Structure 1
């Protein structure tokens, strides 16, 4: 059950990354168009074209042999993450200061203003819980990352420290950006602060922020895709160990050099390319940023971040049934399950509504 949830989530996340990356590429094009032709100009373009471009890049990157070869890619992705988060936060602070007033409120949209109905507010609130959940969905790749660490110091100590620092930094950045962004834009806050065009100027800084997102997601895609590739390859090789598709290996070398970069099997080439193309197709058919991200967060949060780790902890530390600790852990599990269920419902409602008006291959941005 854990494996099914994990690999389904990994695939779902790279679908979401394809949507987000294409949205940022579109935002760069629109930003330059608005700067040149004015904020009311028609700058429509097809998101499908950008998803295909991103998918083609991933076809090449997917031929990297394993997680162990992603150190440089992950480092660049981390730098890009800090860069676009900082840009988004800085622009939001500047917008808030220029407004001279806090636009957001604890109650959100007024039910009497015509901006929102009670039902819409409810579904959007549920969906938002899923969006928050996806911010902490590193659990599916935690063990995969741990597997790439050296044995000294012990992997569990390194991961505890890395997890603590990661959660603290993530919480500070995302909470700050969410609160400041809402204070700056109120009910008009875009789902993605850098692609929703709350900011038109300076256009070059918006472009840099979105470029950082795309570069980050080029590497982040592989962090989540490589364990999925490895699982498929391990399963196939255990069933058909002597298949010629698995045995035939081809060397990839640098131009004008005899140095081998990596070796690839025919099966790996076909399978990884197929997964990336299928992922891109699904992203084109369901290109709804907030709803898809919310659904992924809902699916990931409870089973992989809460239920299985808590169950393993209770077994490992022999928590007595009926004790106070056991009771508190059960409350955590049930409360988290409730959050995941309502987040999934809210996101599915959002996807259903969006599908009614969806025209995947037409220019709409």
Structure 2
């Protein structure tokens, strides 16, 4: 039984590579494939099976599994998992939290932030458990878990666009943010209080994007997700450092004279406008927590066997990382709002801090903060891009039935880097659409789908406490997504959009 179980385990990992191209269309096919444990490893599948799986020796199956960058190395540990989770879950989006507090106020802002934190943390632990919900099967990709839970067709419809956007789209956002911060860094270091010293030598916005992309693709040549553990450590340290420094320095430098804690909701606004502003503020809080679409991939780097699964190590990694995340986001929101009140810039602390304290802090100190933001954007780019690299290599290996060479892997990553750079230059206003697109993609993936997938795969007792709780959270997550999309769309229609195509 041990040999049969071990064979089944390896088959489940690489079964997606065993199909012919006629029946397997990566990355749109499910990873979870039923394998009869009683069938000998050398026997042929039944001719009546509509989706026959080629039977390979166990050694060959391990070899194929080692072709893909996500599952190439399973030598990770709880610390590496914590580095990856920190690197992907905390960053520049947290600097917007005081903006949400300016609309919601102290009490409701704190309540919403606490609820969102606990909700998404619960969803994370559900995903950790679902990674190996079926004995001998590891769901190392979010899309494949969704198709295993919801069915092939519905899983594609529900999860394909959100997962692809949250990988590729986030990389585009990181180029825009990182490139824009490079420009801020240059202007800060060259400024002599009139801003004209380095104007003749300044790069254009597109050129700053190109500089950032070139460095990101250079770092992306590391072979697999597990090999990027130290990159994630650097990014995690950078993000924790600049988030902490922003709120500490904001408190230390003192509040502006006209700072007030009254809500920014105007008494003259219509009811629709007020509801929209409140929902947009809730959206800022909800969208602060991200990276759930990468959690299964991160857990896929951890070792696992029938005696010991990867769940315990991943739980330790998540617990360590979210302890640090809570120590960053709550002070950042509360202290940032205390420091600026309703005078906070709409761009968050990244723009409010230099706006109010430009004369109180040296340009080199401000430049150091910008450098930390840039480092974190560069390191996050690698982790968010990895599922795309993996999907492209799945396509290649399923057609060629061989590992990508170093040159081919480099070409794939250059292609993706060039594509994200082109999109960033074409749509430099994409951050203005982040609330709209994020509500359609991140909110279901983070808050709704884990609860619904748990119901589908674990099948708790109907109408029991666990069943009712997860149904309520899943439905509430989908409703919240719809409300946030409506609010973001209304705001765009009311305030307009500066669609500066090709003018970053």
> Using a 3 Å threshold, how does the CA distance of structure 1 residues 159 and 305 change in structure 2: closer, same or farther?
same
Q: Where do 1:225-304 residues align within 5 Å?
A: 225-241=385-401, 249=405, 264-266=406-408, 268-288=409-429, 290-295=431-436, 297-304=438-445
Instruction: Indicate the SS of the match to 1:136.
Output: coil
Instruction: Indicate the SS of the match to 1:194.
Output: helix
Q: CA deviation at 1:284?
A: 2.3
Q: CA deviation at 1:174?
A: 1.9
> Using a 3 Å threshold, how does the CA distance of structure 1 residues 185 and 4 change in structure 2: closer, same or farther?
same
Q: CA deviation at 1:322?
A: 2.4
Q: Is the 8 A contact 1:129 1:294 kept in 2?
A: no
Moved more, 176-185 or 144-153: 144-153
Bigger relative CO (Cα 8 Å, ≥ 6 apart): 1
Deviations 1:200-228 (A, max 9, x none): 14132221111101011111100110121
Equivalent residue for 1:139, pick from 292, 297, 303: 292
TM normalised by structure 2 equals: 0.59
Equivalent residue for 2:482, pick from 324, 341, 349: 341
Moved more, 62-71 or 42-51: 42-51
In structure 2, C-alpha distance between the alignment counterparts of 1:344 and 1:38, rounded to whole Å: 42
Instruction: Indicate the SS of the match to 1:110.
Output: coil
In structure 2, C-alpha distance between the alignment counterparts of 1:129 and 1:286, rounded to whole Å: 25
Match of 2:77 in 1: none
> Using a 3 Å threshold, how does the CA distance of structure 1 residues 98 and 327 change in structure 2: closer, same or farther?
closer
> Using a 3 Å threshold, how does the CA distance of structure 1 residues 297 and 358 change in structure 2: closer, same or farther?
closer
> Using a 3 Å threshold, how does the CA distance of structure 1 residues 4 and 235 change in structure 2: closer, same or farther?
farther
Q: Number of paired residues?
A: 338
Moved more, 269-278 or 43-52: 43-52
Deviations 1:266-304 (A, max 9, x none): 3x3333212212212222233347534434542343432
Equivalent residue for 1:224, pick from 379, 384, 407: 384
> Using a 3 Å threshold, how does the CA distance of structure 1 residues 40 and 344 change in structure 2: closer, same or farther?
farther
Q: CA deviation at 1:308?
A: 3.0
Deviations 1:164-187 (A, max 9, x none): 333343233223212322232233
In structure 2, C-alpha distance between the alignment counterparts of 1:76 and 1:216, rounded to whole Å: 8
In structure 1, C-alpha distance between the alignment counterparts of 2:381 and 2:455, rounded to whole Å: 33
In structure 1, C-alpha distance between the alignment counterparts of 2:459 and 2:205, rounded to whole Å: 52
Equivalent residue for 1:10, pick from 167, 188, 193: 167
Confirm or deny that 1:174 pairs with 2:329.
Answer: yes
Deviations 1:137-180 (A, max 9, x none): 22111111112224497421122222233334323322321232
Confirm or deny that 1:72 pairs with 2:244.
Answer: no
Larger radius of gyration: 2
In structure 1, C-alpha distance between the alignment counterparts of 2:309 and 2:397, rounded to whole Å: 31
Equivalent residue for 1:49, pick from 189, 207, 228: 207
In structure 1, C-alpha distance between the alignment counterparts of 2:259 and 2:414, rounded to whole Å: 48
In structure 2, C-alpha distance between the alignment counterparts of 1:45 and 1:354, rounded to whole Å: 30
Equivalent residue for 1:321, pick from 449, 455, 462: 462
Confirm or deny that 1:26 pairs with 2:167.
Answer: no
Match of 1:192 in 2: 348
> Using a 3 Å threshold, how does the CA distance of structure 1 residues 227 and 92 change in structure 2: closer, same or farther?
same
Q: Is the 8 A contact 1:131 1:297 kept in 2?
A: no
> Using a 3 Å threshold, how does the CA distance of structure 1 residues 132 and 285 change in structure 2: closer, same or farther?
farther
Match of 2:48 in 1: none
Moved more, 284-293 or 351-360: 351-360
Match of 1:254 in 2: none
Q: Is the 8 A contact 1:291 1:350 kept in 2?
A: no
In structure 2, C-alpha distance between the alignment counterparts of 1:128 and 1:134, rounded to whole Å: 10
Q: Once superposed, what is the RMSD of the aligned Cα atoms? A: 3.2
In structure 1, C-alpha distance between the alignment counterparts of 2:496 and 2:420, rounded to whole Å: 18
Q: Is the 8 A contact 2:188 2:366 kept in 1?
A: yes
Instruction: Indicate the SS of the match to 2:350.
Output: coil
In structure 2, C-alpha distance between the alignment counterparts of 1:271 and 1:206, rounded to whole Å: 36
> Using a 3 Å threshold, how does the CA distance of structure 1 residues 308 and 359 change in structure 2: closer, same or farther?
closer
Moved more, 298-307 or 211-220: 298-307
Q: Which runs of 5+ in 2 are unaligned?
A: 1-155
